[in-house]
Amino acid sequence: MPTPKAIKPLTTEEEEYWKILENELIDGKGSAYLSQNDFAQLCQKNALNCSTATARRKLLRLQEVGRISMERQGKGNNPYKITWLEYSHYKKVDETKQIAPLTGIVPLDSPLYLKREADEICIQNLKLGASREGSRPFIRIRAPKQMGKSSLLRRIQYFLEKQQNHIVGFVDLGGDEYFYTDVFNDLDTLLYQFTSALIKTFSDALQRRGLNDLKNLPDLKEHWNANLTPQLNCANYLHDHIFLPIKQPKTLLIDGIDEVLGKPTQDPFLKFLRSWNEKRMKVVSQAPIIWPSIVIAYSTEPYSILGIRGSVLQNVGTVVELKEFSQEQIVDLSTKYNLSTPLTKPEVEFLMKLTGGHPALINQALYQISQGMTFTQLENKATQTDGPFWDYLSRASELLENNKNLFHCFQKILKGDNCNDDLAKYQLTKAGLLKIDEDAVKVIELYQKYFNNGHI
């Protein structure tokens, strides 16, 4: 098929397939050897439903519009040599592109997001759960701060809306305007605001799909009955006026659950969510389940501050722990930072030893290296107040200063002694200061250097 002289625009759906192929071509510096089946599997790994026949059509379409050329390497399902026709232009633009330090949620179109095992666990549970008649999945994503919880939630939302045709509601207890500071001190106020937030997010989700299932909603103030508990007011309104009218598959994502920890509303609010999982998301009568699938995310760092001894929402749903990056993932991520030379094995091992693979620390390190900092300079500045990791170090220092039990336990471990306080070790682990691996207690080198240098 002749190559077109001009590149034609793609549809939104075609852009999603192109983005997957584009990343593969970037890794291959403008070309890649892929069969139709290879491309289908790549798409499936990126949450696109794609058969081999669909992959073939998409590749031919990308060739037709002038994005790629394809040269067959033999017969049958042998790979094509796929060449990005505009790679030289991309490379010039990419090489001059200013790389910004990564902060907050990783944008959906950013190459700096790395999929981990947690992504696959969440997606598979939600796909299977939506097809089950007897129950709906309840997933709890937990990890210390800046491990990627919110970024994962946003990708779950994108996958469910774009690939599964779900109506997805998203609320953030730590960021939405509904959840001001004092709201967590009173259960009635919290659940009223929570209900308001769900009305807004599901209404918006339907409007994005051009649907109007939630028209003529009754006024929440008039519905809120002072003679009923806040739990009943909230659940009754959501059941009758939000979840029941939505006939499509639906999912509720809740970020920032840790905002309620340590507040007067902690226990009743978490018990309320537990009751949803036990009574409303499972078949307990002949009536169909109208409650959505639910995914919540929360930081485990408050465990140490609040003296939490076990998991919040114990035995509720599926727990998904976000893990640190592996050495292979560090290498993969480093290719996205336009480093002048690829990382050597000793350099990767140095980064892993220094940071333990913590995603935010690794991204900070790679950003500094991409801006010209040498590994020697990175090591020297690692614990300095103007260094790239100071925010993390100062937060860890403040945590230990405010908790004597954690302070003494951490001090013993740094000296190579045993700490017999299992609760303190548990809380230090949840705060990200320790890692317990096959009964071995480990502290990353960054914290060792900082706290052994007179900061504890």
Report pLDDT digits (tens) over 431-445: 999 988 877 888 999
DSSP string, 382-395: TTSTTSTTHHHHHH
Q: Going along 260-330, which residue ranges are E strands?
A: 293-299, 318-321
Q: For 222-257, what is each residue's pLDDT tens digit?
A: 999 999 999 999 999 999 999 999 999 999 999 999
Residue 150: count other Cβ atoms within 10 Å of its Cβ. Answer: 20
Closest CA to 289 of 169, 136, 128, 126: 136
CB 55 within 8 A of CB 40: yes
Q: For 94-109, what is each residue's pLDDT tens digit?
A: 554 556 778 889 998 8
Q: For 315-330, what is each residue's pLDDT tens digit?
A: 888 999 999 999 999 9
The topology under which CATH files domain 117-321 is: Rossmann fold (3.40.50)
Average per-residue pLDDT for the chain:
88
Closest CA to 429 of 121, 142, 105: 142
- Two tokens, residue 380: 């020297």
Handedness of CA 341, 344, 350, 351 (dihedral sign): positive
Q: Give the C-alpha separation, 50 to 71, whole Å.
A: 22
CB 230 within 8 A of CB 188: yes
Residue 208 confidence class, pLDDT cut points 50, 70, 90: confident
Q: Which of 48-52, 301-305, 366-370 has the highest mean pLDDT?
A: 366-370
Q: Give the C-alpha separation, 350 to 356, whole Å.
A: 10
User: How large is the angle between the packed helices 117-131 and 149-163, nearest 10 degrees?
Assistant: 40
Return the percentage of the chain with pLDDT > 90, whole number.
57
* Rg of the chain, C-alpha, whole Å: 25
Q: For the chain, what are the domain ranges?
A: 12-96, 117-321, 327-451
Q: For 10-54, what is each residue's pLDDT tens digit?
A: 887 788 888 889 888 888 888 989 988 889 888 877 767 788 888
What is the residue whose two structure tokens read 């034609």?
8
Residue 428: count other Cβ atoms within 10 Å of its Cβ. Answer: 28
Q: Residue 9 corresponds to which amino acid?
A: P
- pLDDT for position 268: 95
Q: Cα separations (Å) of 204 from 168, 210, 333?
A: 9, 10, 34
DSSP string, 321-376: EPPPPPHHHHHHHHGGGT-SSPPPHHHHHHHHHHHTT-HHHHHHHHHHHHTT--HH
Q: Give the C-alpha separation, 309 to 121, whole Å.
A: 26
Which three-class secondary structure state does DSSP give residue 436?
Answer: strand
Q: Give the C-alpha separation, 183 to 191, whole Å.
A: 9
- pLDDT for position 332: 95
Written out in words, the top-level CATH class of the domain with range 12-96 is: mainly alpha
Q: Give the C-alpha separation, 97 to 244, whole Å.
A: 48
- pLDDT for position 378: 95
**What does the H/E/C string look like for 147-210?**
CCHHHHHHHHHHHHHHHCCCEEEEEECCCCCCCCHHHHHCHHHHHHHHHHHHHHHHHHHHHHCC
What is the residue whose two structure tokens read 């003529």?
216
Which three-class secondary structure state does DSSP give residue 97?
Answer: coil
Residue 143 confidence class, pLDDT cut points 50, 70, 90: very high
Q: Give the C-alpha separation, 343 to 412, whole Å.
A: 35
Give 243: exposed, middle or buried? Use CB within 10 Å, 0-12, 13-18, 19+. Answer: buried
Which three-class secondary structure state does DSSP give residue 82?
Answer: strand
Closest CA to 350 of 334, 372, 327: 327
- Two tokens, residue 203: 């209404």
What is the residue whose two structure tokens read 């003296």?
307
